[in-house]
Structure 1
Amino acid sequence: MKKLLLISMVCFLLVITSACGNGNGAFQDKKTITIGMNNYTENIAYTYVWKHILEDRGYKVRTVFLEKAGVWVGTANDDIDISFAPWLPTTDAPFYKKYKDQVNIEDPWLKNARLGFAVPAYMKDVNTTEDLAKVASDVDNKVIGIDPGSSINGLAEQALKDYNLKSYTLVKSSEAAMLSELRKAYDAKKPIVVTMWNPHWAFADFDIKYLKDPKNSFGDPDNIYTMTSKEFKKTNPQVIKWMNNAQMNDKLISPLLSQVEKSSNPEEAAQEWVKKHKKLVDSWTKD
């Protein structure tokens, strides 16, 4: 009887402890939060920022690397709780159209994110997308893109059609491979065309420029949003409130991206950023 009573008291205390949380607002549940991330520097950096913010407030956080399509599918299926990957209204429009009723799009965490074709500034006679026609042979009729299935690749292919650049091929690789090609060409002062977006640390490391897009093939600048699963929105309103409080801008994110890119441990680099910006982070998570 005493043993049964003791077991009951222990179970009761465990339930109470689980329900009460840690006093920092993380009282809804104690499950692991799964954040879906893709392999782009701005997404890696911001995901790790929030990983540390949430862990500091008593949550367990698991990060999962996926391609952009996988992030949307996983969130729609409640396998992913949060992602900071959606670029809207243009870049991820196909995904939004398909999954908009199965996910929640919260507030943007960064506004006026742009993408397009970019070239080194030393290509002085190439300033608009139409100008690519006259340098096709100089760049081996190639535009260096990123991951197959990425939204920017689809827009780049459409741009090549819109501007009748039939001789060009979009090389589908990865962000890392694209940047490697850019660095090799840049160091040798050779012409190159790449797909690019901002925020991106490349604008700090290379003197590159966007090509004007008078036909607006890449669309107007996007905002980058927080996306959550339907289930997560029901069970974690406090976390969503914190994330909707958060706003980044070029001044804040540029040094973060540079630190993450140059670090051998991107997660530690993001953690250092969180420590350095404690006052800002605390304002995001104020109850």
Structure 2
Amino acid sequence: MSHALISRGALGVATIVMLGFAVASGTGAASSTSAVGNGDEQTLSIGIHSGWDEGIAVSYLFKAMLEDEGYTVTTTEADPGVVYTGLTGGDFDVNFDMWLPNTHADYLETYGDQMEQLGVWYDQARNAIAVNEDSPITSIDELAANADLFGNRIVGIEAGAGLTAMTKDKAIPGYGLENMDFLISSTPAMLAELKGATDAGENIAVTLWSPHWAYDAFPIRDLEDPKGLMGEAEEIHSVGRTGFAEDYPTLSSWISAFKLDDDQLFSLENLMFNENGGSDNDASARAWLEANPTFVDDLKAASASAS
């Protein structure tokens, strides 16, 4: 996820304005009653949160898998508020990126009774202060005493990010890090600093979140957070419009069984957004499936065993 967007948990005017775009884009929910031979409707519309990398990656992964099964799949990226409004209004069929219990709590409270919960595919989504893998410290509570080893700074991301606010308002005062420079910049700038430091074998501390492709691309690890000031781990849920399971019984069983571990998710994101720069998400998803040739069969087997 791009945590520049995580703070946008409340519904607002922008949601209403952008909804017109989503509806006008012509990528509404499945209207065809034709089936693909397994009882599912043939057409599927996926609503994707703009800038939330894990949701983009998983959406295009499903798009590739489903197209191989004969489905016709469309994708639309928009602000989370637009996606949830469109989902409950029937303009989208499914979304793979509802963070609970905290990040998208407002949307769950507002729209929860108009959605179908389809499954949890990742349960370790969290904010962190990350360091180079060979860092001399293992916990945030060691950082203040070793600040000079990290250039006396923590490299952050966008000012409006929820991760930035959590670091500034909770972690820094809670762990006595006020004397360190907290550099608020941008996600690309933070990643550039991270790459430069790890390439040079230097210590660095950055604000980061999981899931993110940086964990696959760079030799890094999270510092322990003994006081829990960076927040608890969240789950990432898949949600469908009302009637989704009835219209897509087979796909619903696949989504329910769908899981990605860290190695799978980080490698998918790294391929899609780092190596390929987000330039062709369809091709990236297919390349990942080619590199993981048993993934679809394993998913179907897991779905069948759960039935």
| 1:37/1:84 contact within 8 Å kept | no
**CA contact under 8 A between 1:274 and 1:281: conserved in structure 2?**
no
Which of 177, 187, 212 pairs up with 2:224?
A: 212
Provide the residue aligned with 2:39 in structure 1. 25
Q: How does 1:19-98 map to 2 (within 5 A)?
A: 19-27=33-41, 30-68=42-80, 70-93=82-105, 95-97=107-109
Gaps in structure 1 of 5+ consecutive residues: 1-17
1:1-287 to structure 2, matched below 5 A, reads: 19-27=33-41, 30-68=42-80, 70-93=82-105, 95-97=107-109, 99-124=111-136, 126-134=137-145, 135=147, 139=151, 141-145=153-157, 148-149=160-161, 151-157=162-168, 158-166=170-178, 168-169=181-182, 171=184, 173-174=186-187, 176-230=188-242, 232=244, 235-260=247-272, 261-263=274-276, 265-275=280-290, 276-277=293-294, 278-283=296-301
- Determine if contact 1:128/1:211 at 8 Å carries over to the other structure: yes
TM-score when normalising by structure 1: 0.73
Q: Which letter does structure 2 place at the counterpart of 1:198? A: S
Cα RMSD over matched residues?
Answer: 3.5
Q: Which amino acid aligns with 2:275?
A: K
CA contact (8 A) 1:37 1:43 kept: yes
Q: Which amino acid aligns with 1:266?
A: N
Q: CA deviation at 1:90?
A: 4.3
**Counterparts of 1:53 and 1:187 in 2: how far apart (Å)?**
36
The TM-score normalised by the length of structure 2 is 0.69
Deviation for aligned residue 1:95: 4.7
Q: Is the 8 A contact 2:216 2:263 kept in 1?
A: no
Q: Which amino acid in structure 1 is aligned with residue 262 of structure 2?
A: D
Deviation of 1:183 (Å): 0.8
Structure 1 residues 193 and 80, CA gap change in structure 2 (3 angstroms): farther
- Partner amino acid, structure 2, of 1:128: S
Given that 2:116 and 2:244 are in contact with CA atoms closer than 8 Å, whether structure 1 keeps it comes out as no
Change (3 A) 1:62 1:208: same
Contact 2:43–2:71 (Cα < 8 Å) also in 1: yes
Distance 1:84 1:155, change over 3 A: farther
- Give per-residue Cα distances to partners, 1:97-138, cap 9 Å, x unaligned: 5544444333111233443110113441x4322334342895
**Separation in 2 of the partners of 1:98 and 1:199?**
26
2:97 is paired with a residue whose SS is coil
Amino acid across the alignment from 1:239: L
1:262 counterpart letter in structure 2? E
Counting matched residue pairs gives: 265
Call closer, same or farther: CA 1:77–1:258 in 2, change over 3 Å: same
Contact 1:91–1:155 under 8 Å retained in 2? no
DSSP-derived class of the 1:86 partner: strand
Give the SS at the match of 1:63: strand
Deviations 1:161-201 (A, max 9, x none): 43354455462523x44322211232234443222233433
Q: Taking structure 1 as reference, are residues 189 and 257 closer, same or farther at Cα in structure 2, changes over 3 Å only? A: same
Give the corresponding residue for 2:21.
none
Q: Which residue of 1 aligns with 2:15?
A: none
Counterparts of 1:154 and 1:105 in 2: how far apart (Å)? 30
SS in 2 for 1:22: coil
Cα drift, residue 225 of structure 1:
1.4
Distance in 1 separating the partners of 2:245 and 2:208: 33
Distance in 2 of aligned mates of 1:191 and 1:184: 10
Partner SS state of residue 288, structure 2: helix
The Cα offsets for residues 45-64 of structure 1, whole Å up to 9 and x where unpaired, read as: 21111011222333322223
